[in-house]
Structure 1
Amino acid sequence: MERRHRVSMTDIAREAKVSPATVSRALNGHPTVSDKVRRSVLDAAERLGYVRNLGAVSLASSQSNTVGLLIRDAGNQFYGGLASRIQAETDRYGFDLLITAGGDTLESQERAVRNLLGHGVGGIVIASGRVAAEAAEYSARFVPSLVLGTGLELPSLSSVRIDPHMEAGLARRVVDHGHRSIAVTASEDPLASTLHARTANFLTELVVAKTDTYIVSFSEQGGVDELGRQVDRALADGVTAIMAGSDEMALQILEYLNISGLRCPQDVSVTGFDGIGAYRSSLLGLTTIEQPVDELAHAAIKLMSRHMNEEHAQTAQILVPGRFVKGRTLGMAQTSD
């Protein structure tokens, strides 16, 4: 397919029968341009299909109106949903949004940050549960930066995340259902700051409640087979409930239990975390905590707007409450006669 020539200001000037300098002033709303000339320039730009070079505009004004969003994985329901809500919030605030995926390594995340900086963004939101501290601090050296939905907290960055009291509250609900031997999933990935913090919050509450705790560790390389072996060992040790750090992990555990002929919650209870998209469905019936993506996105872009418009804005840590989803996968612990 033959591609069209990208329309320049010179093309518009020729069409509107004015100088390129007049076109530039008209497109940028300069007060010396009359309404009649501005209308003529805008009409010509519309007819020709002119697209503004936002990077050049940012360089000319020394201030960017573009927010960069680094997400871990657009295919993940949580990050995909979060990106959609951030788009709505940047639209509401009048910002442009540039999105890139950062992946799960320091190298890929730093490359993603450099890509955003190279496109002249005025601030960067990092929404990744596996963000490396070095990548986040690298971003903060150049533009206002904040981490969203992660357990990472650094003095150089603002952060917005779900209130950790929601994690502690879920652990208390499991205990209140009579469970005294409880397994908690844990990631072996050193960058999984969100899951590390969530596991620690679960375990702290369970230890305070004087329960017996068991760790079900997992890695990307181990796959479902390794997860199954971990679950089998936990159940052999008398575990009656498993608290997963995410809904995706909870679903994998539920699938394994079903294959093994075990019932949930009659034989073992399972809880998740995130409550996004299909995982929140009553058909699945997962007991989980719903992360409020609307509120998280709103708080993040409101805070980023402050950072981009106030030269000496202080960093802030904002906690947003979530919602308990009752579901059907958490039941009362079965006592032996």
Structure 2
Amino acid sequence: MSKARTTITDIARELNISPATVSRALNNHPAISRQTREAVIALARKLNYHPNLLALSLLRKRTNTIGVIVPEITSYFFSSVIGGVQDLLTAQGMNMIIGQSNESLEEEKALVEKFTSIRVDGFLISPSRETKDYGHLQVLKDSLFPLVIFDRDCEDLEVDKVFVDEYRGALQAVEYLIHTGCRRIAHIAGSATLSTARHRLAAYRDALKKYQLPVLDDYIIESSGFTPEAGIEPTKHLLALPEPPDAIFTVNDGVAIGAMYVIKEAGISIPNEISVIGFDDEPYSCYFKPSLSTVWQPTYELGMLSARILMKRVNAAQEAFTPKVEKLFPELIIRGSSR
């Protein structure tokens, strides 16, 4: 049989004082004498006493815990974002609980419900690929839960949001390809349900129009995901065209790696015959041969800024405010896969 956990009542009984006096002593209340406080603390250590955090949170109406929901946690992008969130929260004495939606709306809804039931103080959420209906997020807002949406947008939801300027980064990438002489530029896009993918596609189209290059439907293919495997079939299709592209801009680095594999297997030189530029600057991107040109995103800063804004709302005691939208700037990184 396991030993029962020591309580404030146990300490009070040993010292022949009231539980209220023990509680005040442990919380350094000025009305408690130094002698009593030292005796309480010494006995608490001896009996291995730990405060009941759940009871304290109910008393204070705060759990000091933030709920973080992301599509997945294995990629460098989201793990780096979470690192920024954790460092900011730790510095403020806060904890976080992380949930992975697996790009599923239903799992995202379930996580929101679960985190609400354990009374988290606020939410940081990057919506899933399936999240087109924001009803569950609107409920959080209407219930006055502090909420920050990051990375992926929910256009009709008026809450605090933090993004990287995807459009700006993609525009830089495509304009660079044009400036280096590429004229048949293809784009392997992400899912049209994602704001990030839509912004990158819009920048691709606008860059071509700006330099009076044709925007051809045959050169735009939506990938099935974000892994190297998702880049294979689209690239095979592009290489089989009567006029194959002389450059490919991909939705992310994973798809770019798959594209480079197909191009090299076909005996085509990168970048002499086809330039390739990805997006995200994953840590592995510089170790391929040739190394991958890409768009770097300030992921750690994205997480830290999102957490900072959320904590401001958490500490504002539900004061009225106007939602803010913050944007961080990406940077084009040129390596060996582009001219």
Same fold (TM over 0.5): yes
Task: Give the superposition deviation at 1:31.
Answer: 4.0
- 2:295 is paired with a residue whose SS is strand
C-alpha distance in structure 1 between counterparts of 2:120 and 2:208, whole Å: 43
User: Is residue 300 of structure 2 the alignment partner of residue 294 of structure 1?
Assistant: yes
Q: 1:50 to 1:299 in 2, by over 3 A?
A: same
Residue 59 of structure 1 corresponds to which residue in structure 2?
58
User: Is residue 188 of structure 2 the alignment partner of residue 185 of structure 1?
Assistant: yes
Where structure 2 has 5 or more consecutive residues not aligned to the other structure, the ranges are none
Residue 170 of structure 1 corresponds to which residue in structure 2?
173
Percent identity of the aligned residues? Answer: 25
> Normalized against structure 1, the TM-score is what?
0.85
Per-residue CA shift, 1:105-132, capped at 9, x if unaligned? 2110011111211221111011356372
Partners of 1:55 and 1:119 within 8 A in 2: no
Partners of 1:244 and 1:271 within 8 A in 2: yes
Task: Give the superposition deviation at 1:287.
Answer: 0.8
Q: 1:18 to 1:330 in 2, by over 3 A?
A: farther
C-alpha distance in structure 2 between counterparts of 1:286 and 1:320, whole Å: 22
C-alpha distance in structure 1 between counterparts of 2:207 and 2:254, whole Å: 23
Residue 215 of structure 1 corresponds to which residue in structure 2?
220
C-alpha distance in structure 2 between counterparts of 1:3 and 1:199, whole Å: 60
Task: Give the superposition deviation at 1:183.
Answer: 1.2
User: Is residue 253 of structure 2 the alignment partner of residue 254 of structure 1?
Assistant: no
The aligned amino acid for 2:137 is A
User: Is residue 104 of structure 2 the alignment partner of residue 105 of structure 1?
Assistant: yes
Stretch of structure 1 that moved more, 66-75 or 161-170: 161-170
Task: Give the superposition deviation at 1:200.
Answer: 2.3
User: Is residue 325 of structure 2 the alignment partner of residue 317 of structure 1?
Assistant: yes
Q: CA RMSD in A?
A: 2.9
Partners of 1:158 and 1:316 within 8 A in 2: yes
Residue 330 of structure 1 corresponds to which residue in structure 2?
338
Partners of 2:104 and 2:128 within 8 A in 1: no
The count of corresponding residues between Structure 1 and Structure 2 is: 328
Q: 1:62 to 1:222 in 2, by over 3 A?
A: closer
User: Is residue 108 of structure 2 the alignment partner of residue 141 of structure 1?
Assistant: no
Residue 229 of structure 1 corresponds to which residue in structure 2?
233
- Determine which of 242, 245, 249 is the counterpart of 1:243: 249
Stretch of structure 1 that moved more, 159-168 or 135-144: 135-144
Q: Which has the larger radius of gyration?
A: 2
Aligned pairs for 1:19-168 within 5 A: 19-128=18-127, 130=129, 132=131, 133-134=133-134, 135-142=136-143, 143-163=145-165, 164-168=167-171
Per-residue CA shift, 1:285-319, capped at 9, x if unaligned? 21111111232122112211221122223210001
The aligned amino acid for 2:95 is D
C-alpha distance in structure 1 between counterparts of 2:36 and 2:287, whole Å: 56
Residue 285 of structure 1 corresponds to which residue in structure 2?
291
User: Is residue 272 of structure 2 the alignment partner of residue 266 of structure 1?
Assistant: yes
Partners of 2:228 and 2:256 within 8 A in 1: no
- 2:163 is paired with a residue whose SS is strand
Q: 1:38 to 1:66 in 2, by over 3 A?
A: farther
Q: 1:229 to 1:32 in 2, by over 3 A?
A: same
Task: Give the superposition deviation at 1:39.
Answer: 4.1
User: Is residue 11 of structure 2 the alignment partner of residue 9 of structure 1?
Assistant: no
Task: Give the superposition deviation at 1:33.
Answer: 3.4
The aligned amino acid for 1:32 is A
Partners of 2:108 and 2:128 within 8 A in 1: no
C-alpha distance in structure 2 between counterparts of 1:177 and 1:260, whole Å: 23
Task: Give the superposition deviation at 1:155.
Answer: 4.1
C-alpha distance in structure 2 between counterparts of 1:27 and 1:17, whole Å: 16
Partners of 2:80 and 2:300 within 8 A in 1: no
> Normalized against structure 2, the TM-score is what?
0.84
Per-residue CA shift, 1:133-158, capped at 9, x if unaligned? 52433433331111112243344211
- 1:212 is paired with a residue whose SS is coil
The aligned amino acid for 1:162 is V
Stretch of structure 1 that moved more, 257-266 or 114-123: 257-266
Per-residue CA shift, 1:46-91, capped at 9, x if unaligned? 4444444444323212244322111211111111121122111111
Q: 1:60 to 1:315 in 2, by over 3 A?
A: same
The aligned amino acid for 2:22 is V
- 1:121 is paired with a residue whose SS is coil
Partners of 2:103 and 2:128 within 8 A in 1: no
Where structure 1 has 5 or more consecutive residues not aligned to the other structure, the ranges are 332-337
Partners of 1:137 and 1:157 within 8 A in 2: no
